[in-house]
Amino acid sequence: MDRRTFARTLSWAIGTVPMSVRVAVAGLLAGPAIGAAQTKDKIYRIGYASLRAGPSALEEGFLGGLRDLGYVDGRNVVIEYRWANNDMARFQTQVEELVRLKVDVIVTSSTAAVRVAMRATTSIPIVIAASGDPVGTGLVADYAHPGGNVTGMSLLSTDLARKRLQLLRELLPALRRVAVLAWNTPDAATLPAGRGATDRMIAETRAAGQQMGVDVSPAIVADAGELPKALAPITRDRVQAVIVQNNSIMFENRAQILSVFSRERLPAMYEGRDYTDDGGLISYGPDVRDNFRRAADYVDKILKGARPGDLAIQQPSKLELVINLKAAKALGIAIPQSLLLRAEVIQ
């Protein structure tokens, strides 16, 4: 059969098919293209739930990551922000509200916040912008294959606890007594043994301390109102240094913490550079803003159809050792050259 005869035969065959069938078949054939167009034009809704009181440079990182991927708030995505000001009950209500709004994805950070989100939904994807130890605390089953509806970024808090104490000892060779200022969320007592983020960080610091001959004593707060009470024994008992856990309570109250330590001439190691930028002595930890930027990659993949449980938990790509020389001078501490060569120095 030549090409012209074949074309006439095909045209006749199609003409004998009822119009309703032809429309249905055309719809099926065009389905992916139509679906792609609809997906392209869809405005996604992102639930952004934070225990902090309001936005900071971390949100700049997240929004910058979204923009790099073509998402602009108010144009092709709508971001539903919720700020809990360290009120866990309020945070739970806010997350439940986001679930009722049927957002496409929930973005949050910290172990406690992720637990609340996981209790609120098992179907809406949850992206962790930052969590100390998502596997060790039981948020996910495995770094490579987290499973369930949760994935995101780790801060390696447990893994870095030992290194922070080592750096503090390098800075203060005579170090023998250290306090750890940390936050235990109200539901920490209900968790299985060893699953609390604060418990794991303190346990690892104590284990390192035993090997180095350094006594480690926790100073725990349950809410911001307890912060002065927790700081009192630290200054009264004259520990030689403090390690400050990076969480929303410490972050929101860092000016008060820095002021007390400066007044008492007490050296402190911080988990994030926000504290050294604001006048603290030394910090060692991930670039948290970069974590939040990379969280946008997870949001993008999920909005494009990826299952969160199939997306591996990622670790920080950059660790920052930052030393504030002005703070060191005020404390009368001479920074060893070995540390200065490895650190970013704030004059």
pLDDT tens for 271-301 read: 999 999 999 999 999 999 999 999 999 999 9
CATH fold for the domain made of 157-286+319-346: Rossmann fold (3.40.50)
Give per-residue pLDDT as tens, 331-347. 999 999 999 999 999 99
Give, in order, the Cα–Cα distances in Å from 258 to each of 96, 200, 286, 288.
Answer: 35, 25, 20, 20
Distance CA 110, CA 88 (A): 12
Radius of gyration over alpha carbons of the chain, in Å? 26
Residue 9 has pLDDT above 90, yes or no: no
Cross-strand pairs, 344:
322
Beta bridge partners of 334: none
Q: Which amino acid is it at 316?
A: P
Residue 40 pLDDT? 57
Q: Are 261 and 327 in contact (CB under 8 A)?
A: no
Please state the pTM of the whole predicted model. Answer: 0.84
Task: Please report, for the chain, the start and end positions of each structural domain, with discontinuous segments joined by +.
Answer: 42-155+289-310, 157-286+319-346
> What is the spatial distance between Cα 43 and Cα 257, in angstroms, rounded to a whole number?
42
Per-residue model confidence (pLDDT) at position 34 = 31
Spelled out in words, what is the top-level CATH class assigned to the domain 42-155+289-310?
alpha beta
Strand partners, 244: 181, 270
- The pLDDT value given to residue 192: 73
| Mean pLDDT for the chain overall | 88
Task: Dump pLDDT digits (tens) for 36-51.
Answer: 333 457 899 999 999 9
Return the C-alpha torsion angle 133, 124, 38, 81, nearest 10: -70
Given this chain, do its domains 42-155+289-310 and 157-286+319-346 carry the same CATH topology?
A: yes
Q: pLDDT per residue over 147-195, tens digit each? A: 999 999 999 888 899 999 999 999 999 999 999 999 987 667 677 767 7
